[in-house]
Structure 1
Amino acid sequence: MRGLVVLVTLACLASAQHQALIDYLERRLLAIEDRISLWHEQTTRYVSELRELKQQMVSQLENLDKEKETLRMNLDSVGTRVDRVEREMDYLETQNGAQPCVDVDDKLIEQEVTLVKEKQKAKYSKLSDCSDMISSIKAMKILKRVGGPKGMWTKDTSRGSGKIYIFNGTDDDIIHEFASVQDFTSSQGFTLSKNLKLTSSWSGTGHVVYNNHAYYINYGQEINVVKYNIKDGSVTDSAVFPEQDPVPVYSLTPETVMDLAVDEEGLWAIYATQQNERHISVAKMDANSLDIEQMWDTNCPRENAEAAFVICGTLYVVYNTKQPGRSRVQCLFDVNDMVSNEEAPLVYFPKRYGAHSSLKYNPQEQLLYAWDDGYQILYKLIMKKKLEI
């Protein structure tokens, strides 16, 4: 009987422990279900918030795209307005340009009157009936960048010749010859050029190529103008320029003591002397003999001049600033007295904000061959008759 009681007691104890374990497990399961429910609720909320954030970001990105397009259109409009203002400023500068930098006093006026009277007594005998002058510069084309910051390039001005000649630098004895403009533009550096070795070195950037001859300046104690036959590689002639104590013709290009030029009437020399060091002088030369035919003193200042060229017997002097700005023709001198400097329009070059070390006019093409900080540039000119001014 006592054994039965013990068994019953043990069975009751086991049943109670089993029930306690089941209750514990149920409580744990309920806690886990609560946590799972909480995680599910939080996940649902986070997904909803992320979806709303994505919608907001998409909306903001669309607004940014619209604002970007509006800004681009505004910038295009501003660019158009700036271009229009620049064209209007260019027009106003051309129509109402600054007067040449010439000090006017009584002595200078007397000198001008005396000079005019002397010119009237001895007019220059033109070699042609050319009466064109620059109206404006139509276009600029940058062909290439080769060589140093200073130099000269040109095409032979004789009819039918398409050869290009490069004087790289301001002191050398080599001329680079290209068969055509196409060879020049396609060449890697000077690889397609023929090197012409001279018997003497050239100085500055004031050289020209005219009728299969290179006319270059050799400067030592005096100025020598050398005529070099390109075909047979010989010096045809040379002459000492009859001016003592020369000074650089352009204050902004001090390497050039004399600048040679070619126009419809032949060969010219542009120079300056200590006797008239404030202003530029010009002389007509015989291209065959290198004799001086006639000489003129102009009222075009050397100060701030960077280059010059001659068209139809008219000298055009180009000015700039010491810190390169915008080049402009601000002074001219007509040896035929058909146009005065006061009547001539002020001509601005297209904007590059560089400095020309040389400008060479080709009368066959009515183009200017320019060297600007190592760039070889062509300027297309628009001409008009001098008598229309």
Structure 2
Amino acid sequence: MSTSSVSRSGPVALTRPARLPSLGRTPSGLRAALTFFVAVRLAGAAVVVLANHATGRPLLRNLAHAWDARWYQHIAAHGYGDLIDITRHGAVQTDWAFFPLYPGLIRALTTVLPLSPGKAALLLAGLAAVVAAWGVYRVGDLVYGRGVATALVVLWAVLPQSVELTIAYTESLFSALAAWSLYGVLRGRWLWAGGLAALAGLSRPSGFAVAAAVVVAGAHEAVRHRGRVSPRLWVGCLAAPVGWLGYVLWVGHRTGDLLGGYFGVQQAWNSRFDFGRGSLLFVKGLLVHGGGFVYAAALVIVVAGVLLFCLLCLDRAPLALVVFAGVLVLVVVGGSGSFASKPRFLLPAFPLLIPLARALVRSWRLRPAQAVLVVGALTAVSLLFGAYVMTVARAPL
């Protein structure tokens, strides 16, 4: 399948499943999908606020200041090099571990609007989540049709870990940049794809997954056409990794170790690629000694992500989507660090939901009540799980 463009009359149309009736066939399909997405995520935020009230905590504090959010806001207010943390094991954690795009946008917003860094961070995260859902819909519509696109947004909205889209974290911003970059690849708009991939690389450590998708898809296109491709493809592929590489090299320069400095900073956060050793040790400890509900749920989500990636490959999805999702799955499975954080690392990997979205469309056609029941149950689980991890378990996500 070509990754440069997806034609309505091309090979994609031959494998496209039947579309979702009524909702997916109307021009309001996008509006309906985004309306559902916004409603579910606002409901998720409301449930967290109510849970905070019930437990006597400040209503919005853990939405705006939970865990890593305080680091982003401190960078926005004071720049880099101003905040360090010493762990109980003596590791020196610095703010250089956090990529600059999100705190830079927070700083810009607080400069032009009378907002605190926390409120600006929440506003940016919420707006980016809507833009991300829009991009997810456009990717699904382009490749599989409006029915699957609608189902894809619905499923992404009700993931158990989707509470991360409504707190002051980078997942929504990264997801927005990734979705629209992948859309650019599928449409053959290589400059847009490369530029957005560069910005994605400035938003999260896993931003190189978008660059990998652009570069691999571009290389495939060049080989398929024996090098006779637009110069824009080469420029887009060269631009895609610039953001991620630029920040890694900048940190290396600041630490005095150009190539290894950033990875040394990450090791202080117990974050490194160890080929799955840490994940295996975690699973062994969980099975032998047990653990909290959040850690068991995280394991289930990660295993589901691996299985969904296998289904995505069997589904013969476009190469860019497979590479993007595959790199994120590889980082989650092969990387060390807190296992409770791994579900949110998979959150931007929306292509993993394509097989489920296609199944949901088929279910809607045959048994609409069953499809509605499934979506309702997933929504309830998402809202309750989000409130639980934010206010009760308070696991380090």
Q: TM-score range by the shorter chain?
A: under 0.3
Structure with bigger strand share is 1
Q: Return the TM-score normalized by structure 1.
A: 0.22
Bigger Rg, which one = 1
